[in-house]
Amino acid sequence: MVISMPTKPETPFENLIETFLDHEKPLHAGYFYRLSDLDEAELTELGKFWMDIPTWRRVAIMEDVEELGDMDFTLSFEALARFCMQDSEPKVRELAVRTLWDYELPDLIPTYLDMIESDQNVNVRAVVATALSKYIYLGEIEELSQKALRSVEDKLIEIYNGKDTLLVRRRALEALGFSSRVEVPDMINEAYYSGDNDWLVSALFAMGCSANKIWKSKVLDMLENDFEDVLVEAIRAAGELEISEASASLYELLNHEVEDIRKAAIWSLSQIGGERIGEFLEDLYDQTEDPEELEWLESVLENLAFTEDLHMFELLDFDDDDPIGYDMLDLIDDEDTPFDQDHQS
């Protein structure tokens, strides 16, 4: 369901409860806005009637909540999602974890580590494995304690080497792609050479997360793979690793008959950069009339601009005898400079 985004209304919580319980009443966006930033008293009240809502409607509520959260970053469904992680319906638990993906909540790590081992539903365990990838990344950039990082890595390595389903073990490997643990490259290689396309997809995904150019030749080899999912993941990995040698192959894929492959190639080229892709994107933008396509192309052009800005900084030589370099460093360190701190990581 696509939700329109009106100004946030002040819907009384009692009205929300009444509407949710009457499953014949349609739900409009205002009710979902009201679920943002629930306080403790509202959560307590929610707990009294939540399980009286039919399962199909609880799932529909969380699907719309996830979508709205992706569309409007001023909203916070953290409290609701934490509450729904305890739901008896697996799909609701899965959607709750997905809703929490954009939040950095280290206190959830013990809960996730328990869920990935004990939850009875394979899709829930798999989505938790994906959620844990964020905490490996945070640990790698030293924004999470090494103890917490180690606990996440140990559990995911255990899952990968264990007897869980293929899906959960694959998601564990993909999450470990962010890790610098010495065990991980061997695990990625094992998946890459397994002879199984599903494992190959996960290996390429992990390579793309690694920020490690040791995988360059393996990624390049897969840019000619006939299996669509493998090819798409190889394209994405080439972009994430900024493999300039992949550009020629990516340009050839811009006319591919499969839309996902074309779009993946365009996005990866925006990550690698170059004057040619800029000209191509400008022409494509001018020729496009579909509003959704135009919005996507705008995001690609923004990403290309960011890539080119990064390349500009890399070209600057900040040696001790270069006063221009010192001036630039002073500018970056100036607290009044509108420098995006997130891009430093």
Contacts for 71 with CB less than 8 Å, ≥ 6 apart: 3, 5
Largest Cα separation within the chain, whole Å, is: 74
pLDDT of residue 308: 81
CA 297, CA 282: separation in Å to the nearest integer? 9
Contact 168, 159 (CB under 8 A): yes
pLDDT of residue 337: 30
Lowest mean per-residue pLDDT among 6-10, 66-70, 237-241, 292-296: 6-10
Band of pLDDT at residue 313, cut at 50, 70 and 90: low
Q: Whose structure tokens read 């829930």?
A: 124
CA 261, CA 153: separation in Å to the nearest integer? 32
What would the pLDDT profile of 89-129 be if each residue is shown by its tens digit? 999 999 999 999 989 999 999 999 999 999 999 999 999 99
pLDDT of residue 29: 74
Q: Which helix (H) or strand (E) holds 166?
A: helix 166-176
What would the pLDDT profile of 54-76 be if each residue is shown by its tens digit? 999 999 999 999 999 988 889 99
Handedness of CA 2, 31, 299, 229 (dihedral sign): negative
Band of pLDDT at residue 148, cut at 50, 70 and 90: very high
Band of pLDDT at residue 30, cut at 50, 70 and 90: confident
Lowest mean per-residue pLDDT among 30-44, 227-241, 325-339: 325-339
Q: Give the pLDDT mean for 136-155.
A: 97
pLDDT of residue 63: 95
Handedness of CA 197, 199, 200, 202 (dihedral sign): positive
The string of DSSP letters for 123-146 reads HHHHHHHHHHHHHHHHHHTTSS-H
Q: Give the pLDDT mean for 201-209.
A: 98
Q: Give the pLDDT mean for 14-18.
A: 80
Q: Give me the percent of the chain exceeding a pLDDT of 90.
A: 67
Q: What angle do CA 297, 237, 265 make, to 5 degrees?
A: 35
CA 284, CA 281: separation in Å to the nearest integer? 5
Q: Give the pLDDT mean for 262-271.
A: 94
Contact 85, 111 (CB under 8 A): yes
CA 333, CA 327: separation in Å to the nearest integer? 10
**C-alpha atoms less than 13 angstroms from C-alpha of 36 in its C-beta half-sphere:** 21
Band of pLDDT at residue 315, cut at 50, 70 and 90: low
Band of pLDDT at residue 14, cut at 50, 70 and 90: confident
Q: Which amino acid is at 324?
A: I
Three-class SS of residue 227?
coil
Candidates 164, 174, 249; CA nearest to 204 is 174
The string of DSSP letters for 12-31 reads -HHHHHHHHH-TTSPP-HHH
pLDDT of residue 340: 36
pLDDT of residue 335: 36
Q: pLDDT: is 34 or 241 the higher one? A: 241
